Structure 1
Amino acid sequence: MEQRISLITLAVSDVGRSREFYVTGLGWTPELEAPGVVMIRTGEHLLFSLWATDEFEEEVGPIRTGAGVVPLTMAHNVASEEEVDAVLAAAAQAGAEPVSSAVRRSWGGYSGYFGDPDGYRWEIACAPGPVNDIVVPKS
């Protein structure tokens, strides 16, 4: 198996609401839409998929529920601390749940978090050195 990820799929309670958040609020462009699913190209060979919970469970199996947050975060790295603050502000404007303002982290970076309409956590980060060199596209 090649070392790569093709899709990241989130089971969401309301595909329309999630589409509104990511497409209208954050300005992302859908690649494919069908009843119960929206797929957004987020990399050269990577799709981000929003899938209706009931259809997700039908194919994948029951979703674990309970208190607390889902033990998963997604990150969007940018080239500067100013960009971190700007993306967090744009997410808040789009209706994101504020989780934490950006701060300098013990690992040397600068990051903050927001939650999407289903509570999935997004880290917006500027990481030092090799991490950002790998994950931030060159302009």
Structure 2
Amino acid sequence: MSSPSLSRSGIERRALGAGLLAVVLARPARAERPGLREAVLGFTGGAEPAEGGVTLDIPPLVENGNTVPVTIAVESPMTEEEHVRRIALFNERNPQPHVVTARLGPRAGRARLSTRMRLATSQRLVAVAEMSDGSFRAASADVIVTLAACVEG
């Protein structure tokens, strides 16, 4: 016997409503993305990188942010005793602050990384190098973008 107040369509509506409520409640809150400084300190394990020894080559004015050339070079003899372990690139305003990390070793010959990236808008970029002695070096550059790329929402 079925109750007159609980018709099949009523049960389906309640189940659907409960399902939607479960989806809304189970959806995690949108986490704040780390800022530029937090991303850099996350890479360095909290150590402040020293300025110098790293060259960040990027055009200061970019007409189109869809494909921007970037080159990072680190002064190092690249010997077994003294070399660059990692080079990372961070940005201030793109959806993801950590752009790329390249792992190197003494066999790399030279510590140089070239790539292209998308820039959402005018912003600051920071390149950080981890040296074989555990120290960190950095360089930064400001870029003006006239036509933005990778904009969310």
Q: What is the TM-score normalised by the length of structure 2?
A: 0.27
**Greater radius of gyration (CA):** 2
Q: What is the TM-score normalised by the length of structure 1?
A: 0.29
Q: Counting helix residues as a fraction of each chain, which structure ranks higher? A: 1
